[in-house]
Amino acid sequence: VEGIMEYTYDEVKLKLNELLDSKSSFNIIGLGGELLEVSQLLEKEIEKKGMRCRIYTRNRAATATALAWTGPGLAALAGIAAHNLATYNPDYEIGRAVVDQKIYVTYKK
């Protein structure tokens, strides 16, 4: 998406409150294997501000759909659907891109 700013995690740490208060969407790049920890920290900070978020792995649904006619594929699709219902109408979505080692933080409301 054009216009989305990209930051390193060190940059985000310095301005996270500002980004969340202004309801900005942004990407965090160059995470080098820290996707899980950084996404959990983002979730905690978003919830501290009284907002809700959904964390997901980007392209997970496409992979599960490709495997849909197998047992594991059906289970993955059911898990995705249950997760989406449990996190219905989030303020933010946090998308982890495993291959790119990047997190997409998208304001949804």
The amino acid sitting at 65 is T
> When comparing pLDDT for 84 and 37, which is higher?
37
Q: What is the pLDDT of residue 74?
A: 56
Mean residue pLDDT across the chain: 81
pLDDT at 63: 47
**What is the DSSP secondary-structure string of 2-25?**
TT-EEEEHHHHHHHHHHHHHTT--
pLDDT, residue 60, reads 58
The reported pTM is 0.75
For 38-66, the pLDDT digits (tens) are 999 999 999 999 999 988 888 755 444 44
Task: Return the ∠ at Cα 35 (arms to 42 and 15), rounded to 5°.
Answer: 40
Read off the pLDDT band of 99 (50, 70, 90): confident
pLDDT at 70: 55
Instruction: Give residue 86's pLDDT.
Output: 52
